[in-house]
Amino acid sequence: MSTASAGAGAVRAQVPSGAPPDLRDAAAKAGRSDRAKSEARLGWLLAGPAFVVMLSVTLYPIIQAFFDSLYHYRLTAPDDKRWAGLSNYAVVLTDPIFWQALGVTLFITVITVVCELILGFALALVMHGAIKSLRGLLRTAILVPYGIITVVSAFAWFYAFDINSGFINHWFAWVPGISEDLNWFASQGTSLVVIIMSEIWKTTPFISLLLLAGLSQVPTELEEAAEVDGATWWQRLTRVVLPNMKAAIMVAVLFRTLDAFRIFDNVFIMTNGANGTEVLSLLTYRTSIGRLEIGLGSALSVLLFLCVILICWIAIKLFKVDLAGGARGAS
Amino acid sequence: MRRRSRALALVVGLAVVAPLAACAGEGSGTPKLIWYINPDDGGQAAIAKECTEQAGGAYKLEVSVLPRDASAQREQLARRLAAADSSIDIMSLDPPFIPEMAEPGFLAPVPDDVAERVSKDVVAGALAGATWNDKLVTVPFWANTQLLWYRKSVAAAAGLDPSKTPVTWDQIMTAAKDQDKYLAVQGTKAESLTVWINALVASAGGQIIENPEAPADEITLGLDSPAGEAAATIIGTIGKENLGGPGLPTEDEGASLSVFQGDKGSFMVNWPFVWSATKAGVEDGTFPQALLDDFGWALYPQVTADQESAPPYGGINLGIGAYSKHVDLAFQAAECIVTPEHQATYFATNGNPPSNTTAYDDPAVKEAFPMADVIRESLELAAPRPQTPYYNEVSTGLQQTWHPPSSVNPGTTPKESTDLITAVLRGEQLL
Amino acid sequence: MRQLSTRAKWGWGLITVFVITYALFPVVSIFATSFKLPSQLNLGTFWPKTWSTTNYEQILAPDGSAQTLFLSSLRNSVGICLIATGIAVVLATLAAYAIARLDFPGKRVVLLTALGVSIFPVISIVTPLFNLWRQIGLYDTWLGLIIPYLSLTLPISIWTLAAFFRQIPWELEQAAQVDGATTWQAFRKAIIPLAAPGVFTTALIAFFIAWNDFVYGISLTSTDRARPVPAALAFFTGASQFEEPTGAISAAAIVVTIPVVILVLLFQRQIVSGLTQGAVKG
């Protein structure tokens, strides 16, 4: 069951779910047990198809990827498929290109998530507190980036900064470090700046909506009480609001981290990995789809998958992110 | 309750399956041939239409567009052919990728009589590009080559006349520096960079791969040589001394043209499309006629004064899919596509030069491209990129190590790229 | 509602202007680019010097060079995304009903699977899918994209709908059952009308996600048969294959963005509530 199984196990272990189901069943009366049985059957009949579909579109491919990763297999030389053991992994893990891509991916992930958290929180506060007449307008504006295709966003930012077709250099030529001759996509730092900006622009609405959900759960009485006590806006924010939505923030961060970690579209469109901007997803894509090296590409796929599991594990074990928080309402 | 839930499950099942059945097949009748084309200005589609009409019901030729980027075109086709896709009848192939397709038998063998007819009057470079293991494996269609384009005003100020005496890279680099102008070359990390490297290495008398027909782990590179060093010196100097301007590391063919058209334009190496593109700009009023009048052209610059240059060779050949259901008809259609008349019209309308020498005598060609004769001459001199089934690895490896141009160092870069490409071909490293 | 001071009014006005600039600037920028003449793309101005519809003609007019490419990809995108959304919503509605309404062992596993699938690195499953699809003939077909799109649309649909369903007053259903209706009838008559808005919102969100996909689109297709819009954008070309297709891409980008903006304008309230309710709550 892939990510979910690991996630499920980890989360279940820590979330107290009351008495074990079998004990509950034993305690139940015979009639109720019958009813429970039929309810369980109906439950699985209804939820089963979705469950099976979800598993088959992820679990099967990742297992297949693991098998493929054990072979030397190139699609344009199909007769040359041979057993490789773990040597594909050895090639990947000893290659600086892999580590460089991992580093860039992590860098982009950390920067975007931190910026988005701050910006997204500000937007959530705006949406939360906006006066009625403006609320619709603000929400609409904030939702536009959410609905836009990432590739379109990438092109929009790319064309704006491009040394030939762009206008940013003309507008900001007065800023130290920016001039008509600045080629944003010619070096690692500046390329990453634009890639990160596009990524932040596109996904901040999502994180701000997650935070808005948390914000709306902060009990208003607490805030009002603090206001009566003469707490400043900042004090109310840091002492009342933030502690009360810690869980929401953690979940938002974890979700966005995992999402940012698979960044592909923006890099593909803007630099296609030039100037040390290659990320793991792009490296995997280029190896398996571009070079048709299925063996090596599958090894990269599996490693990428393991990275995601690792991030989940760190979040759940070390930061105690309660992923099942939403599930609690159900049980 | 149980029955109800079963019914529910059935409904679910139907809802999943029903829309999937909607993909219906095609009716029969006139065989439909699909021609995978590289993007152009509609020229190939027009030819397809004409050939369909001429065939009188024998076949119906339809085009399907491939991506813009050469390596992405290869990617799409190789993927489909590896899937033994029978819907690929004719493909517009970039010559360097032909061996990779020919080697595993993805291309239908060219019948001898067809081979004889389609090789007649074809320039040497195009014929070489259409061949693998001494056999013609594709039908030559159009052949491209880069020229040296120069602003007559700048060249005159620098005391050069490339149309009379061939110029060297050193000369145009010095001229650009002295005149405070930019050289327009392709420094972006893409196939165009490989084109530039290959032309420089070949012009210096070397070759990127010594034994292109060898298996992957036995391929020897010829980069770590005086020719490789000469190429690295030129690219590195242009990069380090900012002779290409700030746009160089992201400059593709189109961007080179805008540099050349701008105030700082001086010399440019580029394909003939620059002429038709600038002419269109003059017609819609963006550029003054004076700009077009200032355009000069000559053969590709030389690396050394005593050795003729080896200009880049490009273009498109037609491959016939080995899994096509109508191989015979596909060859018939391919022969129709590449007639000298079609090639001439295609050149005049889309700016892609013919591979057939007789097409150059067409008056429409002369009118649209006054430099047609230079193009033809350049094609005779042109050097193809390495013809190996591992071309993608070689090209990407070059792009990884020779980019950005300012990082290229004659002492280290050729060796670095040799090591990387060798390791990748042996499966010891990622790319 | 408390009365706003003039200062607060100005403050909100300023904030609104700022937020709108942030949200719309890149859109306006590509909008402006889409009206530039191909030869004037590199003038470095924000607005076009001459407003021209050349780029739109290229992608929409019958003789435009990118017309078949763009329109067929638009058709594919709309079709594939609608079907993928439809299937996902049907499956998710049933699953979410079960989750919100019934007590059955493994309920949490279903929810966590959805969670796991939604954070799955897409690129990891592209290689095996590509390899499998080309063997069983699903490569470059609608179905070949619909199936993987379910991995994008199903999880979020389940979460969003489960959240919606938890807020439905289920007493109505019990009341209907007391009146002699079966579970199914109760569900259909009493609950579906209440659930419909939630289902619609979920469909909208799922559609956005499928519409946004790029990785599957470029990896699992190769012709007009199934290529979706985001992948097609990478295929555009200028007058020759060496010229930048900036104008055509911008025009196509605007065409595919307009429906998004309209949907957002019409349904912003529902989308926000859908996303915030479906969001994992602390």
- In angstroms, the CA C96 to CA C107 distance is 10
Q: What b-and-e string marks burial along A13-46, b requiring 16 or more CB atoms within 10 Å of the CB?
A: eeeeeeeeeeeeeeeeeeeeeeebebbbbbbbbb
Q: Which tokens is B17 given?
A: 């399956």
Which pLDDT does position C238 carry in this prediction?
66
User: Shortest Cα distance from C105 to chain B (angstroms)?
Assistant: 18
**Mean per-residue pLDDT, B181-185:** 95
Q: Are B303 and B168 in contact (CB under 8 A)?
A: yes
- In angstroms, the CA B141 to CA A290 distance is 26
Which pLDDT does position A42 carry in this prediction?
86
In the predicted model, is pLDDT for residue B362 greater than 50? Answer: yes
- What does DSSP assign to residue A72? E
The strand pair at B313-320 and B90-93 is best described as antiparallel
Please name the member of C94, C141, C240 whose beta carbon is closest to the beta carbon of B277.
Answer: C240
**Mean per-residue pLDDT, A198-226:** 86
CATH architecture of B145-311+387-425: 3-Layer(aba) Sandwich (3.40)
Chain A stretch 150-189, residues whose beta carbon is closer than 8 A to a beta carbon of chain C:
150-153, 155-157, 159-160, 164-167, 169-171
Domain boundaries, chain B: 6-137+314-381, 145-311+387-425
**Mean per-residue pLDDT, B399-407:** 93
Contact A42 B9 (CB under 8 A): no
Q: Are A117 and A248 in contact (CB under 8 A)?
A: no
Tens digits of residue pLDDT in A89-148: 999 999 999 999 999 999 999 999 999 999 999 999 888 887 788 888 888 888 899 889
Is C233 within 8 Å of chain A by CB?
yes
Give the torsion sign (CA, B377, B380, B381, B387): positive
Tens digits of residue pLDDT in C186-229: 777 777 777 788 888 889 889 999 999 999 998 888 788 899 99
Query: Which residue reads 């493994």 in tokens?
Result: C106
Q: Which of A69, A87, A164 to mutate to test the interface with B (most CBs of B within 10 A)?
A: A164
Tens digits of residue pLDDT in A29-42: 555 677 778 888 88
Q: Which of A54, A63, A155, A265 to mutate to test the interface with C (most CBs of C within 10 A)?
A: A54
The strand pair at B139-145 and B265-270 is best described as unpaired
Give the other-Cβ count within 10 Å of B225's Cβ. 19
The strand pair at B135-136 and B139-145 is best described as unpaired
In the predicted model, is pLDDT for residue A265 greater than 70? Answer: yes
Q: What percent of chain C is predicted at pLDDT more than 70?
A: 95
Q: Are C71 and C60 in contact (CB under 8 A)?
A: yes
Contacts of B299 (CB under 8 A, 6+ apart): B147, B148, B162, B166, B309, B311, B374, B377, B378, B381
Is A121 within 8 Å of chain C by CB?
no
Nearest CA in chain B to A38: B2
- In angstroms, the CA B59 to CA A200 distance is 52
Contact A97 B12 (CB under 8 A): no
User: Shortest Cα distance from A183 to chain B (angstroms)?
Assistant: 6
Is A58 within 8 Å of chain C by CB?
yes
Q: Look over chain C and give the mean of its residue pLDDT values, rounded to a whole number.
A: 85
Cis before B404 (ω within 30): yes
Nearest CA in chain A to C99: A330
Q: What percent of chain B is predicted at pLDDT more than 90?
A: 62
Q: Which of C50, C134, C243 to mutate to test the interface with B (most CBs of B within 10 A)?
A: C243
Helix (H) or strand (E) holding C273: helix C246-278
ipTM of the complex: 0.90
**Rounded to 5 degrees, what are φ and ψ at A121?**
-70, -40
- Judge whether B6-137+314-381 and B145-311+387-425 match in fold: yes
Chain B stretch 78-97, residues whose beta carbon is closer than 8 A to a beta carbon of chain C:
79-80, 82-83, 85, 87
Please name the member of A57, A143, A258 whose beta carbon is closest to the beta carbon of C151.
Answer: A57
In the predicted model, is pLDDT for residue B107 greater than 50? Answer: yes
CA angle A10, A11, A16 (to 5 degrees): 120
CATH architecture of B6-137+314-381: 3-Layer(aba) Sandwich (3.40)
Q: Look over chain B and give the mean of its residue pLDDT values, rounded to a whole number.
A: 88
In the predicted model, is pLDDT for residue B22 greater than 90? Answer: no
In the predicted model, is pLDDT for residue B17 greater than 80? Answer: no
Please name the member of B2, B247, B430 whose beta carbon is closest to the beta carbon of A183.
Answer: B247
Which pLDDT does position B141 carry in this prediction?
94
Please name the member of B75, B104, B403 whose beta carbon is closest to the beta carbon of A290.
Answer: B75
Is B42 within 8 Å of chain C by CB?
yes
Contacts of A133 (CB under 8 A, 6+ apart): none
Is C128 within 8 Å of chain A by CB?
yes
Collapsing DSSP to helix, strand or coil, A83 comes out as strand
Nearest CA in chain B to C219: B76
- In angstroms, the CA A308 to CA A326 distance is 21
Residue C239's pLDDT band, with cuts at 50, 70 and 90, is low
**Rounded to 5 degrees, what are φ and ψ at C170?**
-75, -10
For residue A159, the one-letter residue type is Y
For residue B63, the one-letter residue type is V
Helix (H) or strand (E) holding C208: helix C192-212
Q: Which of A41, A183, A269, A288 to mutate to test the interface with B (most CBs of B within 10 A)?
A: A183
Collapsing DSSP to helix, strand or coil, A294 comes out as helix
Which pLDDT does position A76 carry in this prediction?
76
Query: Which residue reads 């050149």 in tokens?
Result: B347
Which pLDDT does position B82 carry in this prediction?
81
Which pLDDT does position C91 carry in this prediction?
92
Q: Where is average pLDDT lowest: A261-275, A317-331, B177-191, B289-303?
A: A317-331
Residue whose C-alpha is closest to residue B182's, from C21, A183, A199, A221: A183
Contact A76 B12 (CB under 8 A): no
Please name the member of C162, C260, C268 whose beta carbon is closest to the beta carbon of A148.
Answer: C260
Contact A291 B248 (CB under 8 A): no
Which pLDDT does position B399 carry in this prediction?
94
Nearest CA in chain C to A213: C276
User: Residue A113: how many CA atoms within 13 Å on its side-chain side?
Assistant: 21
Residue B1's pLDDT band, with cuts at 50, 70 and 90, is very low
Count of H-run helices and E-run strands, chain C: 12, 0
**pTM score:** 0.87
Which pLDDT does position A14 carry in this prediction?
35
For chain A, the residue count is 331
In this complex, which chains have at least 3 CB pairs below 8 Å with chain C?
Answer: A, B
Q: What b-and-e string marks burial along B118-152, b requiring 16 or more CB atoms within 10 Å of the CB?
A: bbeebbebbbbbbbbeeebbbbbbbbbbbbbbbbe
Is B261 within 8 Å of chain A by CB?
no
Chain B stretch 70-109, residues whose beta carbon is closer than 8 A to a beta carbon of chain A:
71, 75, 78-79, 82, 100, 103-104, 106
Q: Which tokens is B294 given?
A: 């200032």
- In angstroms, the CA A115 to CA A200 distance is 7
Q: Are B173 and B230 in contact (CB under 8 A)?
A: no
Tens digits of residue pLDDT in A51-105: 999 999 888 899 999 999 999 988 877 778 889 889 999 999 999 999 999 999 9
Collapsing DSSP to helix, strand or coil, A293 comes out as strand
User: Shortest Cα distance from C38 to chain B (angstroms)?
Assistant: 8
Q: Is C242 exposed, middle or buried (0-12, 13-18, 19+ CB in 10 A)?
A: buried
Residue A226's pLDDT band, with cuts at 50, 70 and 90, is confident
Is C243 within 8 Å of chain B by CB?
yes
CA distances, B61 to each of A231, B289, C61, C87 (Å): 77, 40, 22, 37
A18: left (phi over 0), alpha (psi -120 to 50) or beta: left
Contact A97 B429 (CB under 8 A): yes
Contact A8 C112 (CB under 8 A): yes
Which pLDDT does position B28 carry in this prediction?
53
The strand pair at B182-184 and B265-270 is best described as parallel
Chain C stretch 61-90, residues whose beta carbon is closer than 8 A to a beta carbon of chain A:
none
- In angstroms, the CA B361 to CA C62 distance is 34
Q: Which tokens is B286 given?
A: 């963006």
Which pLDDT does position A17 carry in this prediction?
38
Q: Which tokens is C137 given?
A: 């003939």
Give the other-Cβ count within 10 Å of B84's Cβ. 14
**Residue A74 bridge partners (DSSP):** A293
User: Residue by residue, what is the 3-state secondary structure of chain B?
Assistant: CHHHHHHHHHHHHHHHHHHHHHCCCCCCCCCEEEEEECCCCCHHHHHHHHHHHHHCCCCEEEEEECCCCHHHHHHHHHHHHHCCCCCCCEEEECHHHHHHHHCCCCECCCCHHHHHHHHCCECHHHHHHCEECCEECCEEEEEEECEEEEEHHHHHHCCCCCCCCCCEHHHHHHHHHHHCCEEECCCCCCHHHHHHHHHHHHHCCCCCECCCCCCHHHCCECCCCHHHHHHHHHHHHHHHCCCCCCCHHHCCHHHHHHHHHCCCEEEEEECCHHHHHHHHHHHCCCCCHHHHHCEEEECCCECCCCCCCCCEEEEEEEEEECCCCCHHHHHHHHHHHCCHHHHHHHHHHHCCCECEHHHHHCHHHHHHCCCHHHHHHHHHHCECCCCCCCHHHHHHHHHHHCCCHHHCCCCCHHHHHHHHHHHHHCCCCCC
Strand order in B182-184's β-sheet? B182-184, B265-270, B147-151, B295-298
Is B64 within 8 Å of chain C by CB?
yes
**Mean per-residue pLDDT, B234-257:** 92
Question: Which residues from C are below 8 Å from B19, CB to CB?
Answer: 83, 86-87, 146
Question: Which residues from A are below 8 Å from B429, CB to CB?
Answer: 91, 95, 97
Higher-pLDDT residue of A281 and A329 is A281
Q: Which tokens is A70 given?
A: 């054990």
Chain B stretch 204-243, residues whose beta carbon is closer than 8 A to a beta carbon of chain A:
none
Which pLDDT does position A35 carry in this prediction?
78
- In angstroms, the CA C63 to CA B305 distance is 49
Q: Which of A38, A72, A163 to mutate to test the interface with B (most CBs of B within 10 A)?
A: A163
In this complex, which chains have at least 3 CB pairs below 8 Å with chain B?
Answer: A, C
In the predicted model, is pLDDT for residue A5 greater than 80? Answer: no
Which pLDDT does position A225 carry in this prediction?
84
Please name the member of B258, B389, B430 whose beta carbon is closest to the beta carbon of A164.
Answer: B258
Collapsing DSSP to helix, strand or coil, A82 comes out as strand
Query: Which residue reads 């990428």 in tokens?
Result: A304
In the predicted model, is pLDDT for residue C48 greater than 50? Answer: yes
- In angstroms, the CA B235 to CA B189 distance is 13
Helix (H) or strand (E) holding A71: strand A71-72
User: Residue B363: how many CA atoms within 13 Å on its side-chain side?
Assistant: 0
Higher-pLDDT residue of C182 and A154 is A154
Question: Which residues from C are below 8 Å from A330, CB to CB?
Answer: 99-100, 107-108, 111, 162, 166
Is C52 within 8 Å of chain A by CB?
no
Residue B187's pLDDT band, with cuts at 50, 70 and 90, is very high
User: Shortest Cα distance from A175 to chain B (angstroms)?
Assistant: 18
Residue C240's pLDDT band, with cuts at 50, 70 and 90, is low
In the predicted model, is pLDDT for residue B276 greater than 60? Answer: yes
Q: Look over chain A and give the mean of its residue pLDDT values, rounded to a whole number.
A: 83
CA distances, B81 to each of B25, B74, C135, C140 (Å): 21, 10, 12, 13
Give the torsion sign (CA, B36, B41, B45, B48): negative
**Helix runs in A162-271, H state only:** 168-171, 188-215, 220-228, 233-235, 242-244, 246-261, 265-270
Nearest CA in chain B to A71: B427
**Mean per-residue pLDDT, B370-390:** 91
Is C235 within 8 Å of chain B by CB?
yes
Question: Which residues from B are below 8 Å from C37, CB to CB?
Answer: 284, 286
Which pLDDT does position B64 carry in this prediction?
85
Please name the member of A36, A53, A151 whose beta carbon is closest to the beta carbon of C214.
Answer: A151
- What does DSSP assign to residue A240? I
What is the number of CB-based contacts under 8 A between chain B and chain C? 107
**Rounded to 5 degrees, what are φ and ψ at C240?**
-130, 170
Which pLDDT does position B216 carry in this prediction?
85
